[in-house]
Chains A and B, each alone.
Chain A
């Protein structure tokens, strides 16, 4: 049963890491907005704008879903 002396502190340490992560989330304001980030993941702001439609072009601009 001596293995417990290692295993339990290990388990506690892992729990403690979780607790510290929770504190870090609080301090950096991860809980300030619980709605927005979910939608933000769906935004395509990391893609370059489509080359066929340079800014300022007039005419029908239909977004393909």
Chain B
């Protein structure tokens, strides 16, 4: 098949007449693959450099501008035995990696300063108990100040900015007490140093920033890992469209290169990759991935088609949609916006802790100040004690308590091929008490399969299979697969909208619609046995047979539903498909609660009703019509085969045909939440011990440093249990 391809959107142009492209490569496993690719590409004269990133499974290739077409790189890689997919660098990803780099820089600066200040502080502490001269002590304190103040101004920005944002929005988050603690500690230490005092808290303030930045960075790292893998998967899907140019030429281009108003050709059997209006041609369209409806619908010029649907019978030319009102996509966009808004009202565990924690700590500090003044201490000294209370309660352990658990749990899930979009999803997942499944593509496999193979003679299946192998029609594929992917017989003719025919032993053999093959009589019992299936008939002279092709349940759907019920969740099905298709699935899975034929907005209403009953809903879905519901539900999971929009709006994405990740990630999330609460309680316990010490005025910088690092260590060690337990046999 010589199809012209155009990959120029993926090429990045650099200075010095160099063009480059990044490719996600399937099947890089070891250093051997790395060497094979690098040395293989280095042999090509046109290629300036090729470098494999083994961790990300990507290759960056550079060549002199104009010396090479980007398609040739892919050809050469496939010549080496590797399938490569071009990779589009997105602005969103660049922004996220900038944020990650900034955090790492802050972490580096804070680490450098913390170590050096600690070096100075240990000298002062040991000097204080022997005979350090006040001049040396002052010198050390000033040196600490010189390090600590610029460091806090630089490395503290992530916290200061977040605290300011929260305060402006009239809320309190964990960063408010952190900012207050750091600023007060530094201010007080400068004043103390000025007055030649014995204690300064520069070490505490910078160490606090260092530990908290570790937590922040871990959080960011987890999200990056998900992003990288999701990016590779998106490239591996390699969605392309066939663009029709004005001169009638067809070029296969990646989706990213398609603009509004382009004309796109969709052949029968292809997945539609754009949203648009049909210009010419008529066909049947399988919309199951979009609406959940499994029965195909007919489509004519003027009708809308959506990305993710499958064109069954005729070739279509589609004008890529400009934003026309009233389309399904607009409707879904509008619903999404509403749904996301309602989701954002969720308050994360750490913020809830901060809401309780901040007023309590600040009230304690104030009470300490007033108490000591009433007790007859000078106000300056009372103020110092009050500030030490703030420093020692500063939520170092609290800041690490949640991110550390999230990172460990997310890595455990990652190994089971479950990816979290954000750490907060774990908390929400742990709270879920109701599971809502979509049917099509979620409970069932995304691709249809032959369901009555047992009742068809093997000889018939073999013949039909060799005929079906000649077609790309989605209903012919399962038959060809069931027959064992035979070599197609020769001289097959495709009859648009009807089926296939070929001469076999001098007699015409047909495979196609029941009417095309005159198989109404044989079709009736099959239709009765498989009410939801699409029927494909086969005729060869007098002999005939009828195949039933249907969406099969995922292999472990039943086990998954049972596991969820055992975990104490209520299971429901909300489907866009017709009731006659949903009922048997629900019956097979033992789910009594199901609703069928729901439009996207009706799904939202249904979720609202559940939320009003106080249910925390976990939505599992994959279709375009599920996207608003996924965004609206308390928490949502999508298989990676889902439509783009559904993937983007789900909190958690999993790979593979099995539904087991739904139950196992729920278990991990509950375990993680338990550990988070344990950590929070530990922080409370720590404060119960440390605060009286501070109120009594006994908290020297040494005590503060020991308490801070000790508590952080315990919290982190406790978090490590999140991986161990969830990896245990179930």
Contacts and interface: CB of A to CB of B under 8 A. Distances in A.
Interface of A: 1, 4-5, 8, 11-12, 15-16, 18-19, 22-23, 26, 32-36, 39-40, 42-43, 45
Q: How large is the interface on B (under 10, 10 to 19, 20 to 34, 35 or more residues)?
A: 20 to 34
Contacts of A40: 31, 34
A1 B143 CA distance: 15
Contacts of B34: 36, 39-40
Given A4-B139, A8-B143, A11-B116, A36 B31 contact: yes
A15 B113 CA distance: 9
B53 A36 contact: yes
Contacts of B108: 19, 22-23, 26
Contacts of A8: 120, 143
A36 B108 CA distance: 24
Interface of B: 30-31, 34-35, 39, 52-56, 101, 104-105, 108-109, 112, 115-116, 119-120, 133, 136, 139, 143, 147
A36 B29 CA distance: 11
Nearest to B42: A45
Nearest to B60: A32
B202 to A, nearest CB: 14
B40 to A, nearest CB: 12
Contacts of A1: 133, 136
B112 A39 contact: no
A11 B52 CA distance: 39
Given A4-B136, A39-B31, A39-B34, A33 B54 contact: yes
Contacts of A43: 31, 35
Given A1-B136, A11-B116, A35 B55 contact: yes
A43 B42 CA distance: 14
B53 A32 contact: yes
A43 B33 CA distance: 12
Nearest to B135: A1
A33 B147 CA distance: 32
Nearest to A41: B31
Contacts of A32: 53, 55-56
A26 B55 contact: no
A50 to B, nearest CB: 15
Contact of A26 (B101, B120, B139): B101
16 contacts: A4-B139, A8-B120, A8-B143, A12-B143, A15-B112, A15-B115, A19-B108, A19-B112, A26-B108, A32-B53, A32-B55, A33-B55, A35-B54, A36-B31, A36-B52, A39-B31
Given A4-B139, A23-B108, A42 B31 contact: yes
A45 B39 contact: yes
Contacts of A39: 30-31, 34-35, 54
B677 to A, nearest CB: 33
Nearest to B119: A11
Contacts of A42: 31
Contact of B104 (A4, A26, A45): A26
B55 to A, nearest CB: 5
B105 A34 contact: no
7 closest A-B pairs (Cβ-Cβ)? A39-B31, A36-B54, A35-B54, A33-B53, A19-B112, A35-B55, A33-B55
A41 to B, nearest CB: 10
B691 to A, nearest CB: 34
Contacts of B56: 32-33
Given A15-B115, A39-B30, 11 more contacts: A1-B133, A11-B116, A12-B116, A15-B116, A23-B108, A26-B105, A33-B53, A33-B56, A39-B54, A40-B34, A43-B31
A1 B133 CA distance: 10
Nearest to A33: B53
A38 to B, nearest CB: 8
A54 B109 CA distance: 54
A18 B119 CA distance: 16
Contacts of B136: 1, 4
B107 to A, nearest CB: 10
Contact of B105 (A11, A18, A23, A35): A23
A55 B119 CA distance: 61
A5 to B, nearest CB: 8
Given A1-B136, A35-B54, A45-B39, A18 B104 contact: no
Nearest to A44: B35
A45 B31 CA distance: 13
A12 B105 CA distance: 18
Contacts of B139: 4-5
A42 B34 CA distance: 12
Nearest to A37: B54
Contacts of B109: 19
B617 to A, nearest CB: 39
Contacts of A23: 105, 108
